[in-house]
Amino acid sequence: LSSSAALEGKGQLKFTSGRWSPHHDCTQIATANDTTVRGWDTRSMRQIYCIENAHGQLVRDLDFNPNKQYYLASCGDDCKVKFWDTRNVTEPVKTLEEHSHWVWNVRYNHSHDQLILTGSSDSRVILSNMVSISSEPFGHMVDDDELSDQEDQHQEEKIKEPLQDSVIATYEEHEDSVYAVEWSSADPWLFASLSYDGRLVINRVPRALKYHILL
Amino acid sequence: QVRSECPLGQLLAREAALGREIRALDSDMQTLLYENYNKFISATDTIRKMKVDFRHMEAEMDDLAANMAAISASSARVSAALQDRHRRGAQLAGVQALLRKLQALLEVPGRLRRWAGTEPARALRCYARARAVLRHYRHLPSFRAIEDESHAIMADLARRLRTRLREETLDPKELTECVEMLLQLEEPPEELSEEFLSQAGARLEAELAALEAELPTSDPSGVATTPPPASDILDFVDRGSSAFVGTLCQLAGSYRTLFGEDTGRLEPFAAALATRYFALLERRLALERGLGDTSLLVRALDRFHRRLQALLELLPAGASAAAELVARAARERVDRYLRALQTFFLGCLGDVRQALAAPRPPGKEGPGLPDLLATLAASVLGQLKAVLAYVQLFTARDVAFASLPYFKGEFCVTAVREGLVVAFVRWLCRTARGFADGPTEKGAPAAPPALLLLLARLCLDYESSTISYILTLTDEQFPPQDLGPPVTPGPALCAEARAAAQRLLDHYVQVQGAAVAQMLRKSVETRDWLGTVEPRNVRAVMKRVVEDITAIDVQVGQLFEEGVRRAQSSDSSRRAFSVYSSSRAPGRYAPSYTPSAPMDTHLLSNIQKLFSERIDIFSPVEFNKVSVLTGIIKISLKTLLECVRLRTLGRFGLQQVQVDGHYLQLYLWRFASDERVVQGLLDEVAASAAHRCLDPVPMEHSVVELICERG
């Protein structure tokens, strides 16, 4: 035990979830307490930011965006997934309302942070494409001086409007509440989900989207 | 025919009648003959007499002719004799006339001098008459002298008139007279017209200033609140119209008569003054802050418009400005009414909230929800109708400006229908929605659930009947033009109202569901499930849940209809948990689950789930009581399920859950639209509790029933 901090406040306060921030050289932790999300600095053990009333009721899970600093996703008992910019915590950047009951888990894909996986107790797993707040809103960019004339023309066709955010797929193979979803660390296109009845389902990102993102 | 058909008797009778007729005609003829005969004889006598008389007259006429000839001959002789004297008489008369004129001319300067001071009009007339003659005989020195003298006097007069002109205190009539006289004196008309205009301008400015003095001056810092104007708008317009407009018309008329049709200078002058007048009027209108008396405003505008008609003949360009002014005033008033309606509605909502929140004295029922709803709807509708009646005044038939094309067309559609009625309905829907969307997110004091229910019902009523009623009423009173700007169709508004009602109802379900769920969650989290004792009775929290749901049922039942419920099966209140009944193979149970048993239960429960529909928890709710309650129950039971799954239970914990579940099932099935939903969820709770239990030994079913019936 290297250091500890206590949370002041009324009533029985609980820490329901916590996550290391992948940026900032491992000095930041975010925790969920009932309905607020707090960020802590481990060097001084003080609270950095606090997102009040993030979800109407309990906050169930958090995740940080691996490629973009300051971006954080949280999900909770109001059936919503909210994306926050920790520099401005008064309002979420985006809100997803695809589930019809509590969302237990939210996960960013480790390499392509526009893919978001959410699992909920309405027995569904939803894979969403949050392009507008990802680190590559306009798709794969290539430097100009590396292009030949032919590729120049192709490039102009490709650089269009940023893609729209959308739900890629809803997986309904589970019969009971889904309590955990995770991305595979070996293959960035593979993910697994676990439900209460003991069913583990492993799925892939649809091929069309995979090639679209890669190319 | 007669001969052939009638019997003999009739024939004889007919023959007799004919004979009689013939005899009668005969006698008539003879009478006529005798009368006329007399007349013929008298006529012949008269003609004989006339012939005799004419012979007499001829002789006399011949005599007359001879006499006349004699008379004419003698008359000619007489006139020839007198001709000479006649000529000389005429000459003398001519000379006398000339002498008289000369005398008059000679007296002109004297007369002019005498009258120049007192009666310039007579002087002018005199001079005018003399002037032509004098000019003609200028070459004669004596005449020249006269002319110069009179000229000097008239110049003097002109000078005096000019100074008088420049005085401030001339009224239009005197002004006109002065200028007229100056014109007669052959002063250059352009100069005169300028003088005239400047004088007139000064006078009109004075009147405008008087009007302006009535308006409180605007504070440059804009901080001080201006006191209400001393007189009301009707007086103001009256004064303005009679004083300013009247004077302007008079002056313009005289200008026209004096200077002919050359309006080059008149128009800009009049236009400038008219604009100032309009501006003053607008300022005064802007001061009409309250809603006051619309009829007064309408009358004032009417008077303004009417009096302006005369002026508008001069200034065709001013017509549009005046119409614009009236239109702006009308629009402004309509806007104010809209804002007043909004405030009124908010006030009504505030009253309703107070009524709902007021502490009730014991023994007295609080205000029923249907009553509150009826009062709210009726008062809003009443107010809207009143406002429409007021606005109707603008298009009343006896109002002059109602015939302007703006009022007939655009006002009705854009200002009233769209700007007032449609905007108000839209605002109402938005505000109602705002109760559902906004505050709860930020933790501000939320609307009480009863209010949400009330507003949902209000919006639904609006969608079904009220909106179409209001729109037909508006269209009757303010008929829309065919070619006018596009109107919002009724169905679009109804769709908005329905969407607002849906949102409110969903939110109500969520709020109530969250309240019950919170209770259940707390109860599960704070209890020690591992070390609890054998259950003797149902937990208090479950009874509380049932009471709450019954209360909600009553509340919703006051405003919404029952709804359709799936027919219950005959053993609905006596069902045993299917999971247990199948796992408990004939009569015996295993103290702990053998590896095969979990498989059985899993398989069985999974198979069961394949055949039952997946339950959506937070789905949109229909507008009936059963649907609302089903939503609330679903939310609460799902929460219970999830919370139970997070705890570890001991044997008696499991049995307690079993007892609670059975109790809930006994009482909640009648509220839900489909009892299988409640059943399914409670089965899930029991199954999850069994999975989480260290020592799953379910209680005997008969004991469970006994405890539930006792509690």
**A160-207 pLDDT tens trace:** 555 677 888 888 888 888 888 999 888 888 999 998 888 899 988 888
Q: Is residue B372 part of a domain?
A: yes
Is the model's pLDDT at B316 over the cut of 90? Answer: no
Considering the domain architecture, whether residues B490 and B554 belong to the same structural domain is answered as no
Q: Is residue B630 part of a domain?
A: yes
- A103-108 and A190-195 beta bridge pairing: unpaired
Is the model's pLDDT at B22 over the cut of 50? Answer: yes
Q: Is residue B438 part of a domain?
A: yes
Lowest mean pLDDT among B91-105, B280-294, B336-350: B280-294
Q: Is residue B474 part of a domain?
A: yes
The model's confidence at residue B361, banded by pLDDT at 50, 70 and 90, is: low
pTM above the 0.80 mark? no
Residue B587: the pLDDT is 29
Considering the domain architecture, whether residues B566 and B491 belong to the same structural domain is answered as no
Residue B702: the pLDDT is 84
Residue B315: the pLDDT is 64
Q: Provide the number of CB pairs (under 8 Å) joining chain A to chain B.
A: 35
This model of the complex carries an ipTM of 0.77
The model's confidence at residue A153, banded by pLDDT at 50, 70 and 90, is: very low
With CA atoms as reference, report the closest residue to B672 among B626, B613, B621, B612.
B626
Q: Which of A57, A175, A196 sits opposite B645 (nearest CB)?
A: A196
Determine the distance in angstroms separating the CA of B473 from the nearest CA of chain A, rounded to an integer.
41
Contacts of B514 in chain A (CB under 8 A): 56-57
Query: How far is Cα B350 from Cα B357, in angstroms, rounded to an integer?
Result: 10
Residue B595: the pLDDT is 38
Average pLDDT over residues B614-632: 77
B688/A196 Cβ within 8 A = yes
Considering the domain architecture, whether residues B426 and B547 belong to the same structural domain is answered as no
Q: Which of B606, B614, B642 sits opposite A197 (nearest CB)?
A: B606
Is the model's pLDDT at B311 over the cut of 60? Answer: yes
Considering the domain architecture, whether residues B661 and B548 belong to the same structural domain is answered as yes
**B223-236 pLDDT tens trace:** 334 445 555 777 77
Determine the distance in angstroms separating the CA of B225 from the nearest CA of chain A, rounded to an integer.
39
Residue B267 contacts residue B314 (beta carbons within 8 Å): yes
Residue B397: the pLDDT is 61
Considering the domain architecture, whether residues B372 and B448 belong to the same structural domain is answered as yes
The order of strands in the sheet holding A166-171 is: A103-108, A115-120, A125-129, A166-171
B638/A175 Cβ within 8 A = no
Is the model's pLDDT at B576 over the cut of 70? Answer: no
Query: How far is Cα B631 from Cα B662, in angstroms, rounded to an integer?
Result: 20
Contacts of B618 in chain A (CB under 8 A): 79, 100-101
- The whole domain housing B450 covers 334-357+367-507
Residue B16: the pLDDT is 92
Q: Is residue B631 part of a domain?
A: yes
Q: Which of B490, B507, B524 is the last residue of a domain?
A: B507
Q: Is residue B418 part of a domain?
A: yes
- High-pLDDT (> 90) share of chain B, %: 4
B610/A101 Cβ within 8 A = no
Is the model's pLDDT at A73 over the cut of 80? Answer: yes
Instruction: Identify the three-state secondary structure at position B694.
Output: coil
- Whether the CB of B203 is below 8 Å from some CB of chain A: the reply is no
The model's confidence at residue B1, banded by pLDDT at 50, 70 and 90, is: low
Average pLDDT over residues B669-677: 79
Residue B25: the pLDDT is 94
Lowest mean pLDDT among A108-112, A124-128, B123-127, B331-335: B123-127
Considering the domain architecture, whether residues B473 and B373 belong to the same structural domain is answered as yes
Token pair, residue A23, equals: 């940026």
**B163-173 pLDDT tens trace:** 776 665 666 67
Nearest CA in chain A to B689: A196
Considering the domain architecture, whether residues B544 and B684 belong to the same structural domain is answered as yes
Average pLDDT over residues A91-119: 86
Considering the domain architecture, whether residues B502 and B550 belong to the same structural domain is answered as no
- What does the radius of gyration of chain B's CA atoms come to, in whole angstroms? 55
Where do we find the tokens 């080059």? B264
Query: How far is Cα A48 from Cα A52, in angstroms, rounded to an integer?
Result: 13
Token pair, residue B257, equals: 């008569």
A177/B618 Cβ within 8 A = no
Higher-pLDDT residue of B424 and B480 is B424
Average pLDDT over residues B50-75: 87
Is the model's pLDDT at B21 over the cut of 90? Answer: yes
Considering the domain architecture, whether residues B503 and B544 belong to the same structural domain is answered as no
- A94-96 and A71-76 beta bridge pairing: unpaired
Residue A75: the pLDDT is 87
Q: Is residue B134 part of a domain?
A: no
Query: How far is Cα A104 from Cα A16, in angstroms, rounded to an integer?
Result: 12
Is the model's pLDDT at A31 over the cut of 70? Answer: yes
Residue B297: the pLDDT is 75
Contacts of B440 in chain A (CB under 8 A): 56
Lowest mean pLDDT among A50-59, B507-516, B579-588, B626-635: B579-588
Domains and CATH numbers, chain A: 62-134+163-214 (2.130.10.10)
Residue B602 contacts residue B592 (beta carbons within 8 Å): no
With CA atoms as reference, report the closest residue to A92 among A167, A37, A18.
A37
Nearest CA in chain B to A198: B602
Over chain B, what is the mean pLDDT?
Answer: 75
Residues in chain B: 711
Determine the distance in angstroms separating the CA of A19 from the nearest CA of chain B, rounded to an integer.
21
Higher-pLDDT residue of B180 and B706 is B706
Distance between start and end Cα atoms, chain B: 119
- Whether the CB of B271 is below 8 Å from some CB of chain A: the reply is no
Q: Is residue B19 part of a domain?
A: yes
B440/A100 Cβ within 8 A = no
Summarize chain A as % helix, strand, coil (round to 5): 10, 40, 50
A53/B442 Cβ within 8 A = yes
Average pLDDT over residues B2-10: 75
Chain A contacts to B (CB-CB under 8 A): 52-53, 56-57, 79, 100-102, 121-123, 172, 175-177, 196-198
**B98-129 pLDDT tens trace:** 898 878 777 777 777 777 667 767 777 777 77
With CA atoms as reference, report the closest residue to B656 among B601, B710, B698.
B698
B514/A56 Cβ within 8 A = yes
Is the model's pLDDT at B3 over the cut of 90? Answer: no
Residue B97: the pLDDT is 92
Is the model's pLDDT at B465 over the cut of 90? Answer: no
A176/B619 Cβ within 8 A = no
Q: Which of B456, B483, B507 is the last residue of a domain?
A: B507
Query: How far is Cα B144 from Cα B147, in angstroms, rounded to an integer?
Result: 5
Is the model's pLDDT at B363 over the cut of 80? Answer: no
The order of strands in the sheet holding A190-195 is: A178-183, A190-195, A200-204
Considering the domain architecture, whether residues B488 and B589 belong to the same structural domain is answered as no
Q: Provide the number of structural domains found in chain B.
A: 3
Is the model's pLDDT at B594 over the cut of 60? Answer: no
Residues in chain A: 215
Query: How far is Cα B351 from Cα B329, in angstroms, rounded to an integer?
Result: 33
A123/B614 Cβ within 8 A = yes
Contacts of B610 in chain A (CB under 8 A): 175
Contacts of A198 in chain B (CB under 8 A): 602
Residue B54: the pLDDT is 85
Determine the distance in angstroms separating the CA of B655 from the nearest CA of chain A, rounded to an integer.
21
**B37-46 pLDDT tens trace:** 888 888 999 9
Determine the distance in angstroms separating the CA of A149 from the nearest CA of chain B, rounded to an integer.
53
Higher-pLDDT residue of B294 and A83 is A83
Considering the domain architecture, whether residues B571 and B672 belong to the same structural domain is answered as yes
Residue B95: the pLDDT is 93
Token pair, residue B316, equals: 């065709």
HSE (CB half, 13 Å, CA atoms) of B373?
Answer: 21
Average pLDDT over residues B38-56: 88
Average pLDDT over residues B291-303: 72
Residue B460: the pLDDT is 81
Considering the domain architecture, whether residues B445 and B567 belong to the same structural domain is answered as no
